[in-house]
Amino acid sequence: MTFQQSGAPVTYLNVSDRERALGFYRDTLGLTLRSSDDFGDFIDFGGGLLRMTAMPDHKAHPHPVLGWNVEDIGAAVVALRDRGITFSIFEGFGQDALGIWTSPDGKAKIAFFADPDGNVLTLSEA
């Protein structure tokens, strides 16, 4: 058996304030904390794991680092807005009032938001 068949995928995310980030991912987004150690936290992430590690000097980049594909992006955006999430609207990008961008062919939709460290997260519907 290969790792592709037996291993759960893990994505890595750096944050500057561990407790603040854990509160956001666990309490605001509703993800489940699986385990913690001295170096970080493992959070259940749709069949895989999110490994969140605190780095006090972490600086977020302007590109997305993590995202979720959802069945109904409008409903997902509204649900997260009701939990206090602010979606990013980029001037000239052509997003709707909810902050959802639709591809020119109409097949893909994406909404952008950030965690407390400024890491860019997305919702997408394809």
Q: pLDDT class for 8, splitting at 50, 70, 90?
A: confident
Q: Strands, DSSP E only, in the chain?
A: 10-15, 33-37, 40-45, 48-54, 64-69, 100-102, 109-114, 120-125
pLDDT in tens, 71-122: 999 999 999 999 999 999 999 999 999 999 999 999 999 999 999 999 999 9
- Could you tell me the residue ranges of all domains in the chain? 1-59, 60-126
CATH match of 1-59 with 3.90.1150.10: no
- Residue 71: per-residue pLDDT: 96
Q: What is the pLDDT of residue 4?
A: 60
Q: Can 1-59 and 60-126 be said to share one CATH topology?
A: yes
Which CATH number fits the domain 60-126, given the four candidates 3.40.190.10, 3.30.930.10, 3.40.50.2300, 3.10.180.10?
Answer: 3.10.180.10
Other beta carbons less than 10 A from residue 122's beta carbon: 18
Mind listing the pLDDT tens digit for each residue in 30-56?
999 999 999 999 999 888 999 999 999
Q: How far is CA 6 from CA 3, 9, 48, 88, 124, in A?
A: 5, 10, 12, 37, 27
